[in-house]
Amino acid sequence: MSDSRHALILHLASGGEPLVFALSAKSAKSLAPRLPVLLTSGGVDTPELEDGTTVAVNFGHVVTAHLDDLPAHVRVYGSPNKRTGFGT
């Protein structure tokens, strides 16, 4: 069985659909205990995404945030670009 994929789900103060980011396992483990502090302080953090890139999040604009698992077939910000078949 493969490891679960980690997601950071952000609900912004401006409303709209939540933003979902695929986090690296290391970043998810690091962010979990710090998330309440980032939300209450309005801090900025740059978690590493599953594809190796980073994203800067200003938690001063976030109303709620939580970590969750992503199903294997879901593509969100930071998902690795997996090629299949006879790609060029």
pLDDT tens-digit series, residues 28-39: 999 999 999 999
Please report which confidence band the pLDDT of residue 74 belongs to, taking 50, 70 and 90 as the band edges.
Answer: confident
Please report which confidence band the pLDDT of residue 64 belongs to, taking 50, 70 and 90 as the band edges.
Answer: very high
66: containing domain: 5-70
* Token output for 53: 């890139």
Tokens 């698992």 locate to: 69
* Token output for 3: 């490891």
Q: How many domains does the chain have?
A: 1
Q: What is the pLDDT of residue 80?
A: 87
Taking the C-alpha atoms of residue 6 and residue 15, their distance in angstroms, rounded to an integer, is: 23
Is residue 86 assigned to a domain?
no
Is residue 87 assigned to a domain?
no
- Residues facing residue 8 across a β-bridge: 21, 67
What is this structure's pTM?
A: 0.84
Is residue 41 assigned to a domain?
yes
Is residue 75 assigned to a domain?
no
Q: What is the pLDDT of residue 1?
A: 39
